[in-house]
Amino acid sequence: MARSSYISVLRIIAIFLIILIHSSSGYLNSNDFDSFDWDYANWINSFSRFAVPLFVIISGALLLQRDEDTGTFYKKRLFKIIPPFVFWTIVYLIYYFIRYIDFEYVGFPQVINIVLIRLKSGSNAHLWYLYMLIGLYLAIPFLRKMIRNCSKREIEIFLCLWFASLFFSNKWFNAYLPNFDLTFFTGYMGYLVLGYYLYNHPLPQLRWSSLPFFIGCCLITGWGTYYLSVEKGEFDPTLYNYLSPNIALSAGLLFVFIQCLKLPERLSAFWEFIDIHSFGIYLSHILFLNYIHPLLPLTTLWKIPTAAILTLLASALLTYCLRKIPFGKYVSG
């Protein structure tokens, strides 16, 4: 099994699940917890929420291996992120104003204020990922030097402390725990280290047990979200948090399971196409999803996956076309 093959499979799974999350999340706002739509959307999210952490794990698996000086890393990696970041920020600002703002009632000062507010964490909600990714990329050259001087046992200790910190930083668990300052171990950096560890120290002994444990974590997410929401009287996304222990376990266990499968050395041309364009698909998919989803004359059962599939294909095609125009490859993602 080629390592690049399973990494590609994981990347494809992650990008599709992210689109599936965005195709289904709107149904969770109804607060009709016993309806089919809410229940269906909850289970889709519960079996998909690990997708963003999975992307970060993949980044750790690939980037913490490299032997580059800090300047070279910044030049190569940040140049790949900053142009798409600027381009899609502008695109989604324009999209927002065209779709949601009536300029007859909004003056220039209000426009500037809206721009500043939306630039704070992303001109569209899903662009928060780029803000987080830039922060991780700034840290990777230093994290790489630290982690490559650690023994396997020391990395395991770090991961244990990081996993413990997820309980302390989670608002639901934190209410029952002392206020230890585990700032050094918190955040998405742990996913990078987890990716590095799993890439270099596969766990074939967990090949089959990883799957039922993965399903168990997702079931906990689904049942727990239902229970918390009913108790609160409104949708409670606490267990959906990307830095929740259940989500971290789901992401890690799926990585282990896919890593241990016997996959072909190369994927088919179609799946390679999706893999190669996955970053661009992430950046552009909201543009298509917001129009495709409402237009589908289907019941919720079929509407959510159909919208996700059509959005995946349309976003991949747009990314491909953007890369064919002058300078398009620098901004497409």
Q: What is the pLDDT of residue 169?
A: 80
Q: How many residues does the chain have?
A: 333
Q: How far apart are CA 271 and CA 269, in angstroms?
A: 6
Burial (0-12, 13-18, 19+ Cβ within 10 Å), 293: buried
Give the pLDDT confidence of 297-321 residue by residue, as tens digits: 999 999 999 999 999 999 999 999 9
The CA-to-CA distance between both ends of the chain, in Å, stands at 28
What is the model's pLDDT at position 207?
Answer: 83
Predicted local confidence at residue 1, as pLDDT: 39
Enter the DSSP assignment of 227: H
Q: What are the residue ranges spanned by the domains of the chain?
A: 65-124
Quick one: pLDDT at residue 2?
43
Tokens (6 digits) for 74: 């910044």
pLDDT tens-digit readout, 24-54 = 999 999 889 999 999 999 999 999 999 999 9
Query: Is the pLDDT at 82 greater than 80, yes or no?
Result: yes
Contact 286, 124 (CB under 8 A): yes
Q: What is the pLDDT of residues 111-126, one digit of tens each?
A: 888 889 888 888 999 9
Contact 163, 248 (CB under 8 A): yes
- Over the range 53-74, which residues count as b (16 or more CB within 10 Å of their CB) and which as e? bbbbbbbbbebbeeeeeeeebe
User: Where do we find the tokens 């739509």?
Assistant: 37
In the prediction, which pLDDT does 255 show? 97
For 166-220, what is each residue's pLDDT tens digit? Answer: 988 877 666 777 777 777 788 999 999 999 999 999 998 888 899 999 999 999 9
- For every residue of 24-54, DSSP letters joined together read HGGGGGG--TTSHHHHHHHHHHHTTTTHHHH
Angle at 261 between CA 255 and CA 267, to 5 degrees: 95
**Are the C-beta atoms of 235 and 31 separated by less than 8 Å?**
yes
Average model confidence (pLDDT) for the chain? 92
Q: Express each pLDDT in 150-171 by its tens digit.
A: 999 999 999 999 999 998 887 7
Query: Crossing angle for the helix pair 300-324 and 36-46, nearest 10 degrees?
Result: 50
Write out pLDDT tens, residues 93-149: 999 998 887 777 777 788 888 889 888 888 999 999 999 999 999 999 999 999 999
Percent of the chain predicted with pLDDT > 70: 98
Any alpha helices (H) in 128-187, and if so which ranges?
A: 128-147, 152-169, 171-174
**Segment 228-242, tens digit of pLDDT:** 999 999 999 999 999
In angstroms, the CA 322 to CA 324 distance is: 5
User: Is a pLDDT exceeding 80 seen at residue 13?
Assistant: yes
The pair of three-digit structure tokens given for residue 114, joined into one six-digit string: 């809206």
Give backbone dihedrals phi and psi of 307, rounded to 5 degrees, phi first. Answer: -60, -40
Are 39 and 288 spatial neighbours (Cβ–Cβ below 8 Å)? no
Nearest to 260 by CA among 59, 52, 54, 5: 5
Q: What tokens appear for 233 in the block? A: 């009287």
Three-class HEC string of 10-28:
HHHHHHHHHHHHHHHHHHH
Task: Find where tokens 């721009």 sit.
Answer: 115
> What integer pLDDT is reported at residue 179 of this predicted model?
77
Q: Which one has a higher pLDDT value, 330 or 309?
A: 309
For residue 333, the tally of other CB atoms under 10 A from its CB is: 24
